[in-house]
Amino acid sequence: MIRGRIEEDYDKLVSYPRRIRHESTVGAGLPVIASLNRLLSSGDPVHRIIGSLSGTLGYVMSEVEDGKPLSEVVKAAKNLGFTEPDPRDDLSGMDVARKALILARLLGRRINLDNIKIESLYPDEMGPDAMSVEEFLASGIVSLDNDVQERVKKALLNGNVLRYVCVIEGSRCEVGIQELPKDSPLGRLRGSDNVLEIYSRCYNKQPLVIQGAGAGNDTTAAGVLADILDIQDLFP
């Protein structure tokens, strides 16, 4: 009953696309939603989206690619202020899944979070209910180093790299680690940038690529301000 009401309210909101703005919910100040809406409104059907939408996980995956242990990279990211106070909030993949859900719904997919396959970078027995942040960083995450390094080596042997991405294609919507070509926009990603590849009828073999800082106070505020100015133009 509650879910049905939520879906009804959502449908009412998106039935007035010019009067709703939520650009900063995905990619902070990056023109992700605006670009997607422009493609859709022009009649260019989008059939695939793949993107790195977490600055934290983008940084983590590009650093482990260089041979650094996952545990060291996560601790460094925390010290740099890239992660939440509890890094598991980032490593769970839930933040990326929420952003994927927003994009999938823009494409008309009638799904919810429980329809998205989400790969967490740590097992349930290392979750917040099972151990403290201090225990996780001191001993828990260290036990994950070897498995991640093996996956990195396997990808390199295939000429690929690992990236933590969302994939939306047809009825498929999932979030997790994927092997991607080194020379692809996502494969070339370094640091904490967000990168999104959008494939459509017009952008079929060469995708529309959106890249830049996907987090931060300044960029997020700029995205919110741009939305306010857009809506202001509707009311002379």
Sorted by sequence, the CB contacts under 8 Å of residue 121 that are 6+ apart come out as 57, 70, 91, 92, 93, 144, 148, 164, 177
The predicted-structure confidence for 114-130, as pLDDT tens digits, reads as follows 999 999 999 999 999 99
Q: Residue 197, SS3?
A: strand
With 90 as the cut, is the pLDDT of residue 50 above it?
yes
Specify the range with the lowest mean pLDDT, choosing from 16-20, 39-43, 98-102, 212-216: 16-20
Task: State how far Cα 235 lies from the chain centre.
Answer: 33
> What does the DSSP 8-state code read for residue 141?
G
The predicted-structure confidence for 74-127, as pLDDT tens digits, reads as follows 999 999 888 889 999 999 999 999 999 999 999 988 888 999 999 999 999 999
**Chosen CATH of 45-212 out of 3.30.2270.10, 3.30.420.310, 3.90.25.10, 3.30.360.10:** 3.30.360.10
> What does the DSSP 8-state code read for residue 179?
E
Query: For position 2, what pLDDT does the model report?
Result: 57
Distance between CA 18 and CA 114 in Å, rounded? Answer: 29
Among all residues, which ones are annotated catalytic?
99
Query: For position 1, what pLDDT does the model report?
Result: 55
pTM as predicted: 0.90
Concatenate the DSSP letters of all residues of 108-127 into one string. T----GGGSEE--SS-GGGS
Query: For position 231, what pLDDT does the model report?
Result: 83
The predicted-structure confidence for 176-235, as pLDDT tens digits, reads as follows 999 999 999 999 998 889 999 999 999 998 999 999 988 778 888 888 888 888 888 777
